[in-house]
Chains A and B, each alone.
Chain A
Amino acid sequence: MSGRAVTFTKEQIADYAEASGDHNPIHLDDQFARTVGLPGVIAHGLLQMGLMATVASEAAGGPDRLLRLYCRFNGMVVPGDTVTFTAEPAGPGKLELRAVNQRGEPVLTKSFAEYLE
Chain B
Amino acid sequence: MSGKVEAGAAGVAGRTYPSVAFEIEPERAAAFARAIGADPEAGVPPTFAAVYSLGVTAPQLFGDPDAAVDFARLLHAEQEFRWTRRPRPGETVSSQGHVASDVSRRGMRFVSFETETTDSAGEPLCRSRALFVIRP
Chain A positions within 8 Å of B, measured between CB atoms, are 4, 6, 12, 15-16, 18-22, 24, 26, 35-36, 44-47, 49-51, 53-54, 57, 62-64, 66-73
Contacts and interface: CB of A to CB of B under 8 A. Distances in A.
Interface string B40-77: 00110111001100110000000000000001110111
Contacts of A36: 72-73
Contacts of A63: 38, 42-43, 45-46, 86
B17 interface: no
B105 interface: no
Contact of B81 (A64, A68, A73): A68
Contact of B45 (A6, A21, A50, A68): A50
A24 B36 contact: no
A93 to B, nearest CB: 13
23 contacts: A4-B37, A15-B31, A16-B36, A18-B31, A18-B35, A19-B35, A20-B51, A26-B72, A35-B72, A45-B79, A46-B50, A49-B50, A54-B45, A63-B45, A63-B86, A64-B43, A64-B86, A68-B80, A68-B82, A70-B80, A72-B77, A73-B78, A73-B79
A49 B79 contact: yes
Given A36-B73, A45-B76, A46-B79, A20 B46 contact: no
B63 to A, nearest CB: 14
B130 to A, nearest CB: 9
Contacts, number: 99
Given A26-B72, A49-B47, A50-B45, A20 B80 contact: no
B32 A71 contact: no
B16 to A, nearest CB: 22
A36 B135 CA distance: 10
A20 B50 contact: yes
Question: For B46, B71, B75, B80, which residue has the most chain A Cβ atoms within 10 angstroms?
Answer: B46
Given A4-B37, A12-B35, A46-B50, A71 B79 contact: yes
A72 B45 CA distance: 20
Nearest to A45: B76
B79 A70 contact: yes
